[in-house]
Amino acid sequence: MLLSTITAEIFTSMDQLQRLSTVEKNLHETLDLYIMQERKRLEDLKGIYAAKKEELKKRERDDEVYHPLDVFRVINRVSSEWSTVEKLVRFNPHKSEFIQEIRNYHASFPSDADFDGTRAAMLRLQKVYNISSQSISSGVIPGQRNAHARLSGIDSYQIGRKAYEDGNIIQAKAWMENTLRMMGTSESLQNLTGHVVVSRNDVLNHLAFLEYKIGDLARSLRFYREMLVNDPNDTELQSNIRKLKHLIAKQPHLNVTSPPNTANRIEDDGDDELSREEMAEYTRLCRPNSQTRLPSSNKQLTCSYLNKHPGLKLKPVAMEIVSVNPQITLFHNVLSEMEIEQMLELARPRLRRARVNNLETGEIEDVDYRISQIAWLSDSDGDIVRRINRRVGFITGLNTNTGECLQVNNYGVGGHYEPHFDHSLDMENSPIASLGQGNRIATFMFYLSEVEAGGSTVFIKTGVKTNPFKGGAVFWYNLKKSGEGDWDSLHAGCPVLIGNKWVANKWLHEHGNEFTRQCGLTEDED
């Protein structure tokens, strides 16, 4: 049954989101059936009403009832037929069936976390790919096909509100301005039932405070004055206007009241973990048509067929070296369509949200900088997994027996993994240490799908960018030959703009590879 295949945190997996689309279609069909049954019920009521109206017309000149047949009809109508009417109105069996159908789907409904995660995804895509709020609202992504859907003014406000809550001043301002533009001259935004969700003053209040935080006091004052026109008796507005006038005249430090429940929460955009330069390079590389820093004159960057291992003699693998320090290699057509489908069939029922290790606490936790769902596949899960693991060994020459299980990833809406290292930076507090096989010496990542836009793998220090290509793979070393972590292996998965991204990771470990990849002559040798 479809309901059992949808897990929590739907926004973290595009595959789950596709199934949610089917749920919505089923609900629409259920509602359509209910409406048809309701129409039939109302038609029955209208039929009874018409018949009774006709009978009343026949005796409208004589309200007194003397004839025994008239007496019989009156008694029958009042005691029986009007009871039937009451039952038609009060007792509605298909209503109960409809409600039960809706309840059956409750487990598949998006949660508040899904709504929050989807809003965050819109902001992430906007920021990384430099798309205006107006373009997103219109379903237009420059250089890509347009979306079927369009955002409403309420949608725009809710995204802006998320940016505001997260302290993203510039984005919050852009979305609130977009909401105001979409409102036109309307005083409010209403939902399907006519209920006011957002008032004009709600939007103006956010804009006024955001402009104040940015430092544009004149624009802030203008928004507050417009609010006062709509609500001239608001004493808090009057106070804010007085403060702003004083600020503009004298420029002392005064606070302006923020919109409810968010006072003192607006901060400058920033990132505590990565340098601004690294985040800027990450964003640059993710954007379409970004120029990488590959030195075309480097003769070590070659394309060839790999067939040294006996397992590759009959079917050599096309390989492309795209970086030397660190070594990053692309392999083409290493998986067939059938193999990919078999892997996905095994992975889908096991998908759960990807979590990461907190270096400070040692706890495994959800994080916003990694949005995907994962499933682990071991050799015991089938011949397909064993065959793929052997193939990794054939291609890399490394021992895969001490490696981790195959990790299948499906990315969600705007799914990404910000710049990170695959190897542990602190083995004493890392779950990797509990495996007893040393650190992650290398990563072999399979691409299990094409992606229409976004979703590239980028290496921040080298400027290398690889776009997902179904059946292909990318391989790199995380450690130098000395066993020290290679800081140049810093990489990221760019947000998926359009499409459904699937990858599978095979992490290989130090133990069992001591003589396969021996120490170099210097500590820094790759």
pLDDT score, position 269 = 40
Question: Is 226 inside a domain boundary?
Answer: yes
Overall domain count for the chain: 3
pLDDT score, position 4 = 42
- How far apart CA 447 and CA 506 sit, in angstroms, is 12
Largest CA distance in the chain: 120
Question: Beta-carbon neighbour count of residue 498 at 10 Å?
Answer: 14
Query: 3-state DSSP call for residue 340?
Result: helix
pLDDT score, position 367 = 84
- How far apart CA 161 and CA 115 sit, in angstroms, is 12
pLDDT score, position 41 = 81
Whether 424 and 472 map to the same domain: the answer is: yes
pLDDT score, position 404 = 95
- How far apart CA 329 and CA 279 sit, in angstroms, is 24
Domain range for 159: 112-250
Over the chain (526 residues), the average pLDDT of each successive run of 10 is 52 79 83 86 83 69 56 60 69 76 78 87 93 91 81 94 95 96 93 86 95 90 92 90 86 56 37 74 90 66 90 92 91 96 95 82 81 94 96 96 96 92 87 90 97 94 94 96 92 94 96 81 61
CA atoms within 13 A on the CB side of 75: 7
Radius of gyration for the chain, computed over Cα atoms and rounded to the nearest angstrom: 32
Whether 298 and 356 map to the same domain: the answer is: yes
Question: Is 371 inside a domain boundary?
Answer: yes
- Contact residues for 351 (Cβ-Cβ < 8 A; gap 6+): 7, 13, 15, 16, 373, 374, 375, 408, 410
Whether 350 and 214 map to the same domain: the answer is: no
C-alpha of 97 from chain center: 33
- How far apart CA 493 and CA 356 sit, in angstroms, is 15
- Contact residues for 139 (Cβ-Cβ < 8 A; gap 6+): 146, 147, 148, 149, 150, 151
Whether 436 and 297 map to the same domain: the answer is: yes
Whether 497 and 412 map to the same domain: the answer is: yes
Question: Is 451 inside a domain boundary?
Answer: yes
Question: Is 287 inside a domain boundary?
Answer: no
Tokens found for residue 459: 């290496």
Helical spans, DSSP H, in 348-425:
383-396
Question: Is 262 inside a domain boundary?
Answer: no
pLDDT score, position 375 = 95
Give burial (CB, 10 Å; 0-12/13-18/19+) of 348.
middle
Residue ending a domain, among 232, 250, 268, is 250
- How far apart CA 150 and CA 359 sit, in angstroms, is 41
pLDDT score, position 99 = 78
**Contact between 486 and 381 (Cβ < 8 Å):** no
Question: Beta-carbon neighbour count of residue 468 at 10 Å?
Answer: 25
pLDDT tens profile 248-302 = 887 755 555 555 544 333 333 434 456 888 999 999 999 987 766 555 667 888 8
CA distance to 168, 171, 474, per residue, from 157 (Å) = 14, 12, 41
Residue 136's domain is classified under what CATH number?
1.25.40.10
- Contact residues for 234 (Cβ-Cβ < 8 A; gap 6+): 227, 228
Whether 301 and 419 map to the same domain: the answer is: yes
Whether 391 and 480 map to the same domain: the answer is: yes
pTM, two decimals, is: 0.81
Residue 416's domain is classified under what CATH number?
2.60.120.620
Whether 125 and 76 map to the same domain: the answer is: no
Question: Beta-carbon neighbour count of residue 371 at 10 Å?
Answer: 28
Question: Is 151 inside a domain boundary?
Answer: yes
pLDDT score, position 75 = 65
Question: Is 218 inside a domain boundary?
Answer: yes
Whether 101 and 118 map to the same domain: the answer is: no
